[in-house]
Amino acid sequence: MLSGLLLVLGSAPLVLGSAVPKASSYAGSHTSAVWPPPDATNTGLGSYFPDGSQVGYPGPTPTGDEAEAIQTAPAASEMESIYPLTDPIAYGSEKPGFDPIRYWGNLSPWYSVPSSAHGLPEASPQIPEGCSINQVHLLHRHGARYPTSGGGPAGFADKLQNATIGGGFTASGSLEFLNAWTYKLGAELLTPFGREQLFNLGVGFRVKYGDLLKNFTELPVFRTTSQDRMLHSALNFAAGFFGIDSYQTDYNELIIVESDGYNNTLAPWNACPNNNLESIGYYGDSLQDQWIETYLAPTLERLQPLVQGVNLTTSDLYNMQSACAYETVALGFSDFCGVFTEEEWEGFNYALDVSFWYSYGPGNPTSAAIGLGWVGEMVSRLTQTPITGAFAEVNTTLMNNITFPLNQPIYVDATHDTIISAILATMNFTSLASGGPLPADHIPANRSWITTQISPFASNLVGQVLSCPASDVSTHIRWILNDGVLPLTGLNGCPEDKNGLCPLATYISVMKERIAEIDYDFDCYANYTVPTPDTIIDGRYPPALRNGTA
């Protein structure tokens, strides 16, 4: 009997007499569910299930004072939890403290980034001693979602399903789960964890900045776009911030149409034609593909012997890594995560850095223009000066004191990961671009652009308007990205400051200069090609190259 004899074919161990099971006929098929089920009926009668106001007897209900932990707590509370997700473990040995979930670029859940990552080791999100906060601006991304329609993981599932139809396949070792794997991800919508992220972000923002609510004279106006995941992210934030019982009446949600033909500073790409050209707006795709081929070529040699009947490619492996991220934030766990090594997760993370740098960040010539509308609105709020006339992607129909108030102590806007990246380029945070353009053939040491720290799921950029020393007159401003304080020393006139502070008047002046130097019409409409090599670091087409390109 030969059942104990081990043969090695490539790197795939096979045991004679112990047949590797063939993949199920449903492997790679798409499955889904909706709630409530289509044929479910609601037999409950309203008279049997009155709401709380009808039942009464609420018990004591005295209110307490508003929290202001950002001012009063001795230290900042950090975001570290990914509950209820299962923390993934990489294949093989890991260095102590290595966490794959922080190597998924824009697909990672947000976590607190230390200010030291931006060169300010002494800075904290807490209000500096002697200062007080007068106003706060929040720009946040939506929460964790399913892949976009037609995304790579769905294509990989189709490839497996086609293999079962065409004769079948067999997977073994770390890929054996593929024999019975089905594709359970939808498209575009928030996942339950994504809803939790925004609810928690709202709760945290209330604990930190709730005291500013005392300064409102009218109900707040928060903004989002009409896209489903955007709208429900904004609503979950509001439910966390105001409370489930009253959020629908405690504020006004301005929902701006996100579609072709509508100006929208929270989804501005539709107003910038060059940003939609593959050769310009998606310039990072080809460079990302180069890096994917480089870092996953050895992985392909390791994993191909584990699958018979399917010819894998490096693109398939990249889609499998993406499936790990998407399944984890949607289903709580993914078998794909344990397929890849620590080094391969570092490569995946860098692939998204390359994509975001060259397509949506400082390396793309349309980025500064894409973020121009929101930055103009931010300056309008800081100066309480209305925007009049056409400007970038601003929806002038909504530029009135009802839908765009200029006297709020708290502003909240919901947007996308790519737009946060572009806005950071528009605002010229030079510390994020200090490492320069990203190579497509290796991971540089000490790079400054790390997408998982910049625009992960539920990413949040906070502008604190302060008075130093404490008073009712605002004197300074600073910006905090995912709890990491950003230095403003790259802005002309903003001094070096251990807390990232810049005098408010100086900052407003610098932003006006920045707005004036961005040629929106050229960057969005001119006929040009991205320079090769692409050495852009400020999100603008180089002025020195503009002659003869229009």
Q: Report d(CA 260, CA 186) in Å as an integer.
A: 24
Residue 48: predicted pLDDT: 85
**Mean pLDDT calculated for residue range 181-201:** 97
Question: In the predicted model, what is the mean pLDDT of residues 543-549?
Answer: 80
Residue 549 confidence (pLDDT): 60
Which pLDDT value is given to residue 47?
A: 78
* Averaged pLDDT of the chain: 93
Residue 46 has pLDDT above 80, yes or no: no
Q: What is the pLDDT of residues 309-361, one digit of tens each?
A: 999 999 999 999 999 999 999 999 999 999 999 999 999 999 999 999 999 99
Asked if the structure places residue 30 within a domain, the reply is no
What are 464-500's pLDDT values in tens digits? 999 999 999 999 999 999 999 999 998 999 999 999 9
pLDDT tens, residue by residue, 1-21: 333 333 333 333 443 344 667
CA 114 → CA 5, 124, 292, distances in Å?
53, 8, 29
pLDDT of amino acid 39:
85
Question: Under 8 Å CB-to-CB from 277, ≥6 apart: which residues?
Answer: none
pLDDT at res. 93: 73
Residue 34: inside a domain: no
Cα–Cα nearest to 321, from 98, 87, 104: 104
Query: Per the domain annotation, does 507 fall within a domain?
Result: yes
Going from the C-alpha of 416 to that of each of 67, 230, 241, 454, 508, the distances in angstroms are: 29, 8, 20, 12, 25
Q: Does the residue 170 lie in any domain?
A: no
Mean pLDDT of 231-248: 97
DSSP character string of 345-407? HHHHHHHHHHHHHHHTSTTSTTHHHHTHHHHHHHHHHHHT----S--TT--GGG-STTTS-S-
Report if residue 69 sits inside a domain.
Answer: no
Question: Where in the sequence is the domain holding 471, given as residue range(s)?
Answer: 124-146+190-279+365-545
| Count of the separate structural domains present in the chain | 1
Identify whether the C-beta of residue 286 lies closer than 8 Å to the C-beta of residue 302: no
Residue 514 to residue 278: CA distance in whole angstroms: 27
Can you give the pLDDT at residue 19?
60
We report the CATH number of the domain holding residue 506 as 3.40.50.1240
Q: Whats the size of the chain, residue-wise?
A: 550
Q: Is residue 512 part of a domain?
A: yes
Of residues 75 and 48, more confidently modeled: 75
- pLDDT for 4 equals 35
Q: 42 lies in a domain?
A: no
88 occurs within a structural domain: no
> Which residues make Cβ contacts (< 8 Å) with residue 144, sequence separation at least 6?
109, 190, 191, 193, 194, 197, 329, 330, 457, 458
Among residues 495, 463, 504, the alpha carbon closest in space to that of 480 is found at: 463
Q: How far apart are CA 132 and CA 146, in angstroms?
A: 40
Token pair recorded at residue 444: 């540089």
**Residue 342 burial (10 A CB sphere; 0-12, 13-18, 19+):** middle
pLDDT at 16: 37
Find where tokens 């030969």 sit: 2
